[in-house]
Amino acid sequence: MLVTAILLATVAAAAGLHQIAQKRRAFAVGNLAITSGDHVVFTNEDEFLHQIYVDSPAMTFDSPEQPPGQTIEVVFSRRGTFRVRCHIHPKMLLIVRVE
């Protein structure tokens, strides 16, 4: 079990980590370029719920509701361009380009 924790920590350290705030019913940035295998951490800095989803033939992700202060981590392991949205606030959009 300790070996598994060390391996997971090593993999996470090797991958890039990107922080994206959700504030004022928007993502802090509209576009993000990352490398395959990078992690994107979404932090809800609003006073209400958010929810993150990606719906693409190459990748599907759908988070539970995200209360204020909570973070959700998404790993982008495939190359491509992905539209990240919030079911609760459909105007929220982040374009993630994975190289």
Residue boundaries of the structural domains of the chain: 16-98
Q: What's the rounded Cα separation, in Å, for the pair 50 and 48? A: 7
* 16-98 topology per CATH: Immunoglobulin-like (2.60.40)
CB atoms within 10 A of CB 66: 21
pLDDT tier at 91 (50, 70, 90 boundaries)? very high
pLDDT tens, residue by residue, 24-43 = 999 999 999 999 999 999 99
Structure tokens at 79: 């190359």
* pTM of the full structure: 0.82
Pairwise pLDDT comparison (23 vs 6), residue with the higher score:
23
17-23, strands of its sheet edge to edge: 26-27, 17-23, 38-44, 71-76
Owner of token pair 């459909």: 90
Q: What is the DSSP letter of 68?
A: T
